Amino acid sequence: MRLLVARCQVDYAGRLTAHLPLATRLILAKADGSVSIHADDRAYKPLNWMNPPCTLTVTVPEDSDFTELWELRNKDDDTLLISIAEVLHDSSHELGVDPGLVKDGVEAHLQALLAEHPETFGQGWSLVQREYFTPIGPVDLLFRDDRGSYVAVEVKRRGEIDGVEQLTRYLSLMNADPLLAPVRGVFAAQLIKPQARTLAGTRDISCVTVDYDLLRGLDNAEDRLF
C-alpha cells in the first residue's frame, strides 16, 4: 500500500462528475489497483475513489502548477484525475495477504449451515467452495445456481451497508475473471437493515433473510400454533 499526503485537486468524470478543489488530502493506492482520496474526517468513507480493475497513468505536466497528474480509467471508461501540487508525505508498505474478518460463533455457524443447505437460496443450487479467495479477502460462499451460473454469497448475522459494500468489491474482482463471469451476488443475514436492502438493490445484489433456528433444525413449522 502506498500512502501519499499531498495538496491536490481531484476530478471524476463518467456516470457522474465531481470536483474536489485544491486541498491537503490522503491518497491511498492499494495493491489491488484501487485508489481512494480521504479528508481528515468522515471516518473511513473516502471523498472519491476508483475500484479495480482500472489502469493508472502518471505524467509530469509542463508549464503547470502541478507536479504530477494521476489518471485512472476503469472498464466503463470513467476517469479519476488527481492533480498533485505538493507532496508532504510518501511511503509504501507491504501488508501481505489479510486473513479477513474473523466471524463470531453465530455468523461462522450460519455460514457453515448455508453451505450445507444450498436449497435455502433455490432449488438446483450447489456449493462450489466456502471462503473462496479473492485478492482482497475471501468471499464467504460460492455457489452455482440452477442455470450453472456462479453466485457469490456474503453472510452476516446483521446485514448493514458495510456488508453490501464488501460484497460489491468482491463481485467487481470476480467479474473481471473471464473464467467466473458473470457472477451475481446474494447478501444473506438474519436481519437486513432497510438501508442495506436499498443499497443492494442499486448494485443488483439480492437480499435473503435466513432463519438460524430453522437451519439448525430447532424450529419446526409443523409444531407452530400460529
pLDDT digits (tens, 9 = 90+) for 135-186: 888 999 999 999 999 999 999 988 999 999 999 999 999 999 999 999 999 9
Contact predicate 153/186, CB 8 Å: yes
Q: What pLDDT was estimated at residue 137?
A: 87
10 Å CB burial of residue 25 (0-12, 13-18, 19+) is: buried
Give CA–CA dist 174/136, Å, rounded. 11
Which of 40-44, 82-86, 118-122 is predicted most confidently?
82-86
Instruction: For residue 82, give the nearest of 32, 31, 18 by alpha carbon.
Output: 18
Q: In the structure grid, which three cell numbers stand for residue 86, read together?
A: 505538493
pLDDT surpassing 70 at residue 6: yes
Percent of the chain whose pLDDT exceeds 70: 92
Output phi, psi for 128, to 5 deg: -95, -50
pLDDT digits (tens, 9 = 90+) for 146-159: 999 999 999 998 89
Task: Give the global pTM.
Answer: 0.55
Give CA–CA dist 117/112, Å, rounded. 9
Architecture of domain 105-215: 3-Layer(aba) Sandwich (3.40)
pLDDT surpassing 50 at residue 209: yes
Can you give the residue ranges of every domain in the chain? Answer: 2-92, 105-215
Give CA–CA dist 191/166, Å, rounded. 17
pLDDT surpassing 90 at residue 226: no
Give CA–CA dist 222/217, Å, rounded. 12
Q: Is 2-92 a CATH 1.10.8.60 domain?
A: no
Higher per-residue pLDDT: 42 or 210: 210
pLDDT surpassing 90 at residue 38: yes
Give CA–CA dist 197/72, Å, rounded. 30
